[in-house]
Amino acid sequence: MVRGGDTLYSIAWHLGMNYRELASMNGIRSPYTIYKGQRLRVKPAALHPRPAIKTTPAPAAPPATPAAKPAPKPASKPVPATTPAAVSESSPAATQKTAVPAYDGKWVWPTRGRVLTQFKSSGPGKQGIDIGGHADQPVKAAANGKVVYAGSGLVGYGRLIIVKHNENLLSAYGHNNKLLVSEGEHVAAGQMIAKMGSSGTNRNELYFEIRKNGKPTDPMGFLPKQ
Protein backbone atom coordinates (compact mmCIF):
# COMPACT_ATOMS: atom_id res chain seq x y z
CA MET A 1 0.00 0.00 0.00
CA VAL A 2 1.35 3.42 -0.98
CA ARG A 3 2.32 5.61 1.98
CA GLY A 4 2.73 9.37 2.08
CA GLY A 5 6.00 10.41 0.42
CA ASP A 6 6.33 7.22 -1.66
CA THR A 7 6.98 7.34 -5.38
CA LEU A 8 6.84 4.47 -7.86
CA TYR A 9 10.63 4.69 -8.08
CA SER A 10 11.22 4.47 -4.32
CA ILE A 11 8.88 1.48 -4.01
CA ALA A 12 10.60 -0.31 -6.90
CA TRP A 13 13.99 0.53 -5.35
CA HIS A 14 12.95 -0.92 -2.00
CA LEU A 15 11.66 -4.10 -3.65
CA GLY A 16 14.69 -4.45 -5.93
CA MET A 17 12.49 -4.21 -9.02
CA ASN A 18 12.67 -2.36 -12.31
CA TYR A 19 10.29 0.61 -11.98
CA ARG A 20 8.92 -0.04 -15.48
CA GLU A 21 8.09 -3.63 -14.53
CA LEU A 22 6.21 -2.41 -11.43
CA ALA A 23 4.36 0.18 -13.51
CA SER A 24 3.40 -2.39 -16.14
CA MET A 25 2.00 -4.81 -13.51
CA ASN A 26 -0.32 -2.08 -12.28
CA GLY A 27 -1.26 -0.45 -15.58
CA ILE A 28 0.48 2.81 -14.63
CA ARG A 29 1.80 4.96 -17.46
CA SER A 30 4.38 7.75 -17.53
CA PRO A 31 4.76 10.01 -15.54
CA TYR A 32 4.04 7.11 -13.12
CA THR A 33 1.85 9.02 -10.65
CA ILE A 34 0.67 7.07 -7.58
CA TYR A 35 -1.49 8.07 -4.61
CA LYS A 36 -1.46 7.57 -0.85
CA GLY A 37 -3.56 4.52 0.09
CA GLN A 38 -3.31 3.02 -3.40
CA ARG A 39 -2.66 -0.73 -3.52
CA LEU A 40 0.01 -1.94 -5.93
CA ARG A 41 0.60 -5.45 -7.23
CA VAL A 42 4.24 -6.46 -6.72
CA LYS A 43 4.06 -9.90 -8.35
CA PRO A 44 2.68 -10.85 -11.78
CA ALA A 45 -0.92 -12.03 -11.73
CA ALA A 46 -1.56 -15.71 -12.52
CA LEU A 47 -2.64 -16.17 -16.12
CA HIS A 48 -5.84 -18.13 -16.82
CA PRO A 49 -6.91 -19.22 -20.34
CA ARG A 50 -9.87 -17.23 -21.58
CA PRO A 51 -12.94 -19.20 -22.79
CA ALA A 52 -13.60 -19.08 -26.51
CA ILE A 53 -16.30 -16.61 -27.49
CA LYS A 54 -18.73 -17.64 -30.24
CA THR A 55 -19.45 -14.97 -32.78
CA THR A 56 -22.23 -14.74 -35.35
CA PRO A 57 -21.81 -12.99 -38.69
CA ALA A 58 -23.41 -9.57 -38.89
CA PRO A 59 -26.48 -9.26 -41.17
CA ALA A 60 -25.81 -7.92 -44.62
CA ALA A 61 -26.45 -4.19 -44.95
CA PRO A 62 -29.25 -3.09 -47.34
CA PRO A 63 -28.14 -1.61 -50.67
CA ALA A 64 -27.40 2.08 -50.44
CA THR A 65 -29.63 4.55 -52.31
CA PRO A 66 -28.09 7.56 -54.00
CA ALA A 67 -28.38 10.67 -51.83
CA ALA A 68 -30.04 13.80 -53.18
CA LYS A 69 -27.68 16.60 -54.09
CA PRO A 70 -27.74 19.44 -51.51
CA ALA A 71 -28.90 22.87 -52.61
CA PRO A 72 -26.01 25.29 -53.22
CA LYS A 73 -25.23 27.56 -50.26
CA PRO A 74 -24.60 31.30 -50.65
CA ALA A 75 -20.94 32.23 -50.54
CA SER A 76 -19.80 33.52 -47.13
CA LYS A 77 -17.29 36.25 -46.51
CA PRO A 78 -13.82 35.08 -45.41
CA VAL A 79 -13.18 35.44 -41.67
CA PRO A 80 -9.73 36.77 -40.70
CA ALA A 81 -7.65 34.32 -38.66
CA THR A 82 -7.40 35.23 -34.97
CA THR A 83 -5.46 32.23 -33.61
CA PRO A 84 -1.89 32.99 -32.51
CA ALA A 85 0.97 31.70 -34.63
CA ALA A 86 2.50 28.37 -33.59
CA VAL A 87 5.76 28.52 -31.64
CA SER A 88 8.68 27.44 -33.77
CA GLU A 89 11.52 25.28 -32.46
CA SER A 90 13.86 28.26 -32.67
CA SER A 91 11.63 30.54 -30.58
CA PRO A 92 12.63 31.45 -26.97
CA ALA A 93 9.67 29.50 -25.53
CA ALA A 94 10.67 26.30 -27.31
CA THR A 95 14.33 26.79 -26.39
CA GLN A 96 13.38 27.08 -22.73
CA LYS A 97 11.60 23.72 -22.82
CA THR A 98 14.61 21.94 -24.32
CA ALA A 99 17.16 23.60 -22.00
CA VAL A 100 16.88 20.76 -19.46
CA PRO A 101 20.22 18.91 -19.29
CA ALA A 102 19.72 15.49 -20.87
CA TYR A 103 21.80 12.48 -19.89
CA ASP A 104 24.93 12.48 -22.05
CA GLY A 105 26.80 9.50 -20.61
CA LYS A 106 29.21 11.70 -18.61
CA TRP A 107 29.66 11.00 -14.88
CA VAL A 108 31.42 12.85 -12.07
CA TRP A 109 32.15 11.83 -8.49
CA PRO A 110 29.20 12.68 -6.23
CA THR A 111 31.54 13.85 -3.46
CA ARG A 112 35.21 13.93 -2.50
CA GLY A 113 36.57 11.36 -0.09
CA ARG A 114 37.93 7.88 0.42
CA VAL A 115 35.86 4.89 -0.65
CA LEU A 116 35.17 3.07 2.59
CA THR A 117 33.18 0.14 1.22
CA GLN A 118 33.49 -1.37 -2.26
CA PHE A 119 30.64 -2.75 -4.36
CA LYS A 120 29.78 -6.43 -3.89
CA SER A 121 27.35 -7.92 -6.38
CA SER A 122 26.51 -10.80 -4.05
CA GLY A 123 26.40 -8.74 -0.87
CA PRO A 124 23.17 -8.70 1.14
CA GLY A 125 21.08 -5.52 1.41
CA LYS A 126 22.44 -2.32 -0.07
CA GLN A 127 24.80 -2.80 -3.01
CA GLY A 128 26.73 0.39 -3.61
CA ILE A 129 29.80 2.19 -2.27
CA ASP A 130 30.31 4.27 0.89
CA ILE A 131 32.38 7.45 0.54
CA GLY A 132 33.72 9.03 3.74
CA GLY A 133 33.67 12.75 4.49
CA HIS A 134 32.56 15.37 7.00
CA ALA A 135 29.21 16.80 8.03
CA ASP A 136 27.57 19.11 5.47
CA GLN A 137 30.16 18.25 2.81
CA PRO A 138 28.68 18.90 -0.68
CA VAL A 139 26.93 15.97 -2.37
CA LYS A 140 26.54 16.42 -6.10
CA ALA A 141 24.55 14.80 -8.90
CA ALA A 142 26.82 12.27 -10.60
CA ALA A 143 25.20 12.80 -14.03
CA ASN A 144 22.43 14.81 -15.69
CA GLY A 145 18.97 13.61 -14.72
CA LYS A 146 15.68 14.15 -12.91
CA VAL A 147 14.98 13.73 -9.20
CA VAL A 148 12.36 10.99 -8.78
CA TYR A 149 12.56 10.62 -4.99
CA ALA A 150 13.69 12.85 -2.14
CA GLY A 151 12.83 11.76 1.39
CA SER A 152 13.54 9.41 4.28
CA GLY A 153 10.92 6.71 3.75
CA LEU A 154 13.33 3.91 2.84
CA VAL A 155 14.68 2.30 5.99
CA GLY A 156 18.48 2.09 6.16
CA TYR A 157 19.20 4.88 3.67
CA GLY A 158 18.54 7.91 5.87
CA ARG A 159 17.68 11.03 3.88
CA LEU A 160 17.82 9.73 0.34
CA ILE A 161 17.74 11.15 -3.19
CA ILE A 162 17.13 9.03 -6.30
CA VAL A 163 17.94 10.50 -9.71
CA LYS A 164 16.70 9.06 -13.01
CA HIS A 165 19.21 9.55 -15.83
CA ASN A 166 17.44 7.70 -18.65
CA GLU A 167 14.96 4.84 -18.99
CA ASN A 168 17.56 2.34 -17.76
CA LEU A 169 19.78 4.14 -15.23
CA LEU A 170 19.06 5.41 -11.71
CA SER A 171 21.48 6.63 -9.05
CA ALA A 172 20.91 6.99 -5.29
CA TYR A 173 22.53 9.24 -2.66
CA GLY A 174 21.93 8.20 0.96
CA HIS A 175 22.69 9.23 4.59
CA ASN A 176 22.44 12.96 3.81
CA ASN A 177 22.10 15.62 6.49
CA LYS A 178 20.03 17.95 4.29
CA LEU A 179 18.33 17.56 0.91
CA LEU A 180 18.58 20.56 -1.44
CA VAL A 181 16.40 19.36 -4.34
CA SER A 182 12.80 18.20 -4.68
CA GLU A 183 11.04 15.50 -6.68
CA GLY A 184 10.54 16.48 -10.31
CA GLU A 185 13.53 18.81 -10.37
CA HIS A 186 16.08 18.43 -13.18
CA VAL A 187 19.73 18.42 -12.13
CA ALA A 188 23.02 18.69 -13.98
CA ALA A 189 26.18 16.66 -13.38
CA GLY A 190 28.18 18.33 -10.62
CA GLN A 191 25.20 20.27 -9.23
CA MET A 192 25.01 20.25 -5.41
CA ILE A 193 21.88 18.32 -4.40
CA ALA A 194 22.48 17.58 -0.68
CA LYS A 195 24.77 17.95 2.30
CA MET A 196 26.56 14.89 3.65
CA GLY A 197 25.49 13.54 7.02
CA SER A 198 24.99 10.46 9.14
CA SER A 199 21.24 9.88 8.82
CA GLY A 200 20.59 6.15 8.89
CA THR A 201 24.21 5.34 9.82
CA ASN A 202 26.76 5.96 12.57
CA ARG A 203 29.30 8.07 10.66
CA ASN A 204 29.41 10.91 8.15
CA GLU A 205 29.42 9.34 4.71
CA LEU A 206 27.64 9.20 1.38
CA TYR A 207 26.08 5.95 0.27
CA PHE A 208 26.13 5.92 -3.55
CA GLU A 209 24.44 3.29 -5.71
CA ILE A 210 23.69 2.88 -9.42
CA ARG A 211 21.01 0.57 -10.79
CA LYS A 212 20.69 -0.47 -14.41
CA ASN A 213 17.31 -1.94 -15.40
CA GLY A 214 16.54 -2.35 -11.69
CA LYS A 215 19.74 -4.25 -10.85
CA PRO A 216 22.63 -2.82 -8.76
CA THR A 217 25.82 -2.34 -10.76
CA ASP A 218 29.34 -1.30 -9.73
CA PRO A 219 29.53 2.54 -9.65
CA MET A 220 33.26 2.32 -10.35
CA GLY A 221 32.38 1.29 -13.91
CA PHE A 222 30.74 4.69 -14.43
CA LEU A 223 32.79 7.12 -12.32
CA PRO A 224 36.07 8.54 -13.68
CA LYS A 225 39.30 7.34 -12.12
CA GLN A 226 40.61 9.50 -9.29
CATH of the domain at 211: 2.70.70.10
pLDDT at 147 over 60: yes
What would the pLDDT profile of 195-224 be if each residue is shown by its tens digit? Answer: 999 998 999 999 999 999 999 999 999 999
Indicate the number of domains in the chain.
Answer: 1
Q: What is the pLDDT of residue 81?
A: 44
Q: Which residue has the higher pLDDT, 101 or 133?
A: 133
pLDDT at 141 over 50: yes
Q: What is the pLDDT of residue 113?
A: 95
Residue 55 lies in a domain: no
Q: What is the pLDDT of residue 13?
A: 86
pTM above 0.85, yes or no: no
Q: Which residue has the higher pLDDT, 31 or 172?
A: 172
Residue 22 lies in a domain: no
Q: What is the pLDDT of residue 69?
A: 55
What would the pLDDT profile of 57-90 be if each residue is shown by its tens digit? Answer: 555 555 555 555 555 555 555 544 444 443 333 3
Q: Is 22 helix (H, G, I), strand (E, B) or coil?
A: helix
| pLDDT, average across residues 26-46 | 87
> Where does residue 211 rank: exposed (0-12), middle (13-18), buried (19+ CB within 10 A)?
buried
Q: What is the pLDDT of residue 17?
A: 86
As a whole number of angstroms, the distance between CA 129 and CA 219 comes to 7
Residue 42 lies in a domain: no
As a whole number of angstroms, the distance between CA 170 and CA 103 comes to 11
| pLDDT, average across residues 82-111 | 62
Q: What is the pLDDT of residue 87?
A: 36
As a whole number of angstroms, the distance between CA 73 and CA 64 comes to 26
Q: What is the pLDDT of residue 77?
A: 53
Domain that holds residue 191: 101-221
Q: Whole-number mean pLDDT of the chain?
A: 82
Q: What is the pLDDT of residue 101?
A: 83
Q: What is the pLDDT of residue 90?
A: 35
| pLDDT, average across residues 117-135 | 87
H helices present in the chain, as ranges? 8-15, 19-25, 92-97
Residue 184 lies in a domain: yes
Residue 7 lies in a domain: no
Residue 13 lies in a domain: no
Listing DSSP states for 68-98 in one string gives PPPPPPPPPPPPPP-SPPPPPTTSHHHHHHT
